[in-house]
Amino acid sequence: MRTPRRAARVAVLEPDGAVFMFRYDNDEVGVHWALPGGGMEPGETPGQAARRELREETGWDDIALDGTLLCRWEHDFTRAGVPVRQSEHIFLAAGPRRDPEGDLLALHAEEGILRWRWWSPRELAGATEQLWPPRLPELLADVRRNGPPVTPVDLGYVGNA
């Protein structure tokens, strides 16, 4: 039985279309790249959680979130020894290319973040490691072509590869 967990993440895009991501290694799902974000705290909305998590994980407190949702999805993984089924809201935001700010090494180690990087659209499309959410290259290519979605894409439940 998996514990339900709600989470929010942010796809921070720079003007050339690059997106910021973290690399994780999880016992259950292995190495994968994910957007900044994480679990919602009691009483938080998805947007509030996305802002808080982005600030905590990157040190960036100047990224504006206008509430535009890219997608929603559910997936399973084990977090701190607890099997969870996580339901995520993925928000879009614009920001400049830069490094995370502040002393984040301890937090990143605690969260299982191994490293970070900006991915160009071309690099994202050719990624060989798992990306969370799935279809991220396709979703962001559609944003570049057509602008943000009017209605977020619902990826539904995605099982582990």
Of residues 121 and 112, more confidence is placed in: 121
Question: What is the mean pLDDT of the segment spanning 73-101?
Answer: 95
Q: Which residues of 3-12 are buried (b: 16+ CB within 10 A; e: fewer)?
A: eebebbbbbb
The pLDDT of residue 161: 65
Contact indicator for 11, 92 with CB cutoff of 8 Å: yes
Mean pLDDT computed over 52-56:
97
Q: Read off the pLDDT of residues 16-50 as tens digits, 9 standing for 90 and up.
A: 999 999 999 888 888 999 999 999 999 999 999 99
Higher local confidence (pLDDT), 123 or 111: 123
Banded model confidence at residue 110, pLDDT cuts 50, 70, 90: confident
- The CATH class of 3-155 is alpha beta
Give percent of the chain with pLDDT exceeding 90: 86
CA terminus-to-terminus distance, the chain:
19
- Res. 106 pLDDT band, cuts 50 70 90: confident
pLDDT band at 117 (very low <50, low <70, confident <90, very high): very high
Q: Considering the entire predicted model, what is its pTM?
A: 0.95
* Confidence class for position 10, pLDDT limits 50, 70, 90: very high
Residue-averaged pLDDT of the chain: 95
Please calculate the CA angle 120-96-153 and round it to the nearest 5 degrees: 60
